[in-house]
Amino acid sequence: MRTLNVKLITISIIIVIRLAHEGILTTSAAPPKISAKSPAEDALPEIPAVPFLTLGLIRDPVVQAELGLDKKQIDGVNAAVAQVDESFWRLRDVPVKNCSAELEALLTTLRRSLKLELNSIQLVRFEQIMLQARNWKAVITPEVAGRLKLSSDQVSRLRTLLADVPRQREENEKTLVGLSAVNQEAARNRQLKAEAKSFADVLTAQQQSQLSQLLGKPFDLDRVIKIGCVAPELRDVSAWINSQPLTLQQLRGNVVVVHFWAFGCINCIRNLPHYDSWHEKFAKSGVKIIGIHTPETESERSLVNLKRQVNERKIEYPVAFDASAQNWKAWANDMWPSVYLIDKQGRVRNWWYGELNWKGATGEEFFRKRIEELLNEK
């Protein structure tokens, strides 16, 4: 029985470590700004924090299928998500310690709605999936540690192991230089299994059995789709250049790139050739690009100046003049330039703050590949 329990726990650990490594449960292509901590829990920081994770999982079609939701339930869950979606989105870059009360209120609203839509069996299964996604950082919270009757020494040992994981992974990556992709993957898998065993060995056989029951059958979290939110609708656009007024609702069925810029921002200017190349390469494939010009300086507040810049730089895709910054606020944007990638269902799937290729970054290549992938999605 001990071997079975260790195997189940090991699978869960490996799933979550891979999620963190591959960014499955974080939607930003750039490093996340937030130092996330689950509100009201005495634990190591969880990224994403529990409220964001709850929203991300319950909205996912694969999770909904795993729960066995029927059409009516799916509609109800999606309506519950829509009720809090933009509010969560606007908090994505706020340090969790600075918005914990808001997150708790949003999470309470979401959970209350989910209890009305899901039956008891579905709620239990969802909590199992949540626990698998949170993994050992959940185990050392008072709630789970109490159910497992972990001693203070066990909690301390688990904390130490968790804190040491980043260093161990960094050291392991150094040993992979020069190896083939296949050998690198094999080495990473060996490391993940070793990490998993080190965590499981802290628990007694009985605690492992209890934890296995809490986790339930393993769920393949690799299939979870990265979704930031349903993209906030364009609003209060002062003027459109190169286009009649547009809405994102009108563009459903297309892959959409939205980028915020200002013509006096040198970092924005350096990104413009990338958008031009995407427009040239993908326009006939169903990719729509919208530049949202949100001014900062007095010169940038002039529509005449903006039109001249668009003309001089030979921008052919639609440009929205966000003179009152209402779109900037709706997207909780705080940096020029910022780029967002929206799928055919109108959901934000990736975003990037700053220059795409800043100091050796490969943002342009990343986005180009993601555009191709989203075009192939049904």
Asked whether the predicted pLDDT for residue 37 surpasses 70, the reply is no
Answer yes or no: CATH 3.40.30.10 is held by domain 231-376. yes
Q: How many CB atoms lie within 10 A of CB 323?
A: 18
Q: E strands of 178-236, at which residues? A: 229-230
Helix (H, G, I), strand (E, B) or coil at 39: coil
Give all strands of the β-sheet with 239-241 in edge-to-edge order.
229-230, 347-353, 338-342, 255-261, 287-293, 319-321, 239-241
Asked whether the predicted pLDDT for residue 124 surpasses 80, the reply is yes
Q: Which two tokens stand for residue 178?
A: 């020069």
| Angle formed by the axes of helices 120-134 and 205-215, nearest 10° | 120
As a whole number, mean pLDDT of residues 230-241 equals 97
Task: Give the pLDDT confidence score for residue 44 in this predicted structure.
Answer: 67
Query: What are the structural domain ranges in the chain?
Result: 2-223, 231-376
Q: pLDDT (tens digit, 9 = 90+) per residue, 40-71? A: 334 567 888 999 999 999 999 999 999 999 99
Task: Give the pLDDT confidence score for residue 46 in this predicted structure.
Answer: 84
- In this prediction the pTM is 0.83
154, 270, 278: which is closest to 206 by C-alpha?
A: 154
Q: pLDDT (tens digit, 9 = 90+) per residue, 251-269? A: 999 999 999 999 999 999 9
Q: Which two tokens stand for residue 147?
A: 């159910």
Asked if 234 and 248 count as a contact pair (C-beta separation under 8 A), the reply is yes
In the numeric block, the tokens 């609003």 are attached to 235
Task: Give the pLDDT confidence score for residue 333 in this predicted structure.
Answer: 95
